[in-house]
A and B are shown apart, each in its own frame.
Chain A
Amino acid sequence: MTVRLQSEPFEPGVLLTRFSAGRGETGAVVSFTGLTRAEHGQTTTLELEAYPGFTDAEIGRIGEAAATRWGLQDWLVVHRVGPIAPGEAVVFVATASAHRREAFEACDHLMDYLKSRAPFWKKEHGPDGARWIEPTDRDRTDAERWET
């Protein structure tokens, strides 16, 4: 049940090995690793900004809700912040449960959230300069359906 934001690169295999260790009652560990795309040379660096204390708390809330909904035994989110080079891992999510279906679905759900609504601000640096990536109007109205 951990959220970690870090500027240092991470090794997904090491995270998965560590997350999977010592689990006598776990039948399934599902993990997802997101890499930064070069977009055919259009992205030279991706820069992710987070609000420490807010971003991790929001992700933690979603993680806890997912843990309750799918009965997870454990979950882990590691997310890079700061400048990230193409090919580097930007996000790692792992879920552990007694049976596989719950771990698959919770991991998928957590990634949907992290990719669309998690409090990050993303700047793409490329040959033509830098630009902030913001959700489209459609993304915004889709997301607002869940706000009550």
Chain B
Amino acid sequence: MARVMLFGRLADIAGWRETEIDASSLSGLRDTLTATDAALGEALAGPGVQAAVDKVIVRADVALTAGSEVAFLPPMSGG
């Protein structure tokens, strides 16, 4: 189970901030999230939304393990 975290408006769209999902890759995780919640899937694919695995931004697909932490980050607004 990967730990999945949503930030900013993504959490408002999904109605949750953090959950655990069984996925072996980042793309698989996206597919699962999209299948469960189309609005969230669309938001995750939107412009400027980045994914971080274990607190490192990833741009390609990566494998996930049981302890992986995946965060979806909408465009950062600065402080």
Q: Are B52 and A134 in contact (CB under 8 A)?
A: no
A-B contact pairs, 7 of them (CB 8 A): A48-B79, A90-B79, A116-B78, A119-B73, A121-B9, A123-B8, A134-B77
Per the 8 Å Cβ criterion, residues 8-32 of B in contact with A are: 8-9, 12
- B71 within 8 Å of A by Cβ? yes
Interface size class of A (residues with CB under 8 A): 20 to 34
The minimal Cβ–Cβ distance linking B2 to chain A, given in whole angstroms, is 16
Q: A49, A120, A123, A140: which contacts B78 (Cβ < 8 A)?
A: A120
- B4 within 8 Å of A by Cβ? no
| Complex contacts, A114 vs chain B, CB 8 Å | 78-79
- A13 within 8 Å of B by Cβ? no
Q: Are A118 and B48 in contact (CB under 8 A)?
A: no
Per the 8 Å Cβ criterion, residues 12-38 of A in contact with B are: 34
Q: Are B5 and A51 in contact (CB under 8 A)?
A: yes
Q: Are B76 and A117 in contact (CB under 8 A)?
A: yes
Closest to A48 in B: B79
State in angstroms the CA–CA spacing of A134 and B8 once bound together: 9
State in angstroms the CA–CA spacing of A53 and B73 once bound together: 14
Q: Which of B5, B48, B76 has the most CB of A within 10 A?
A: B76
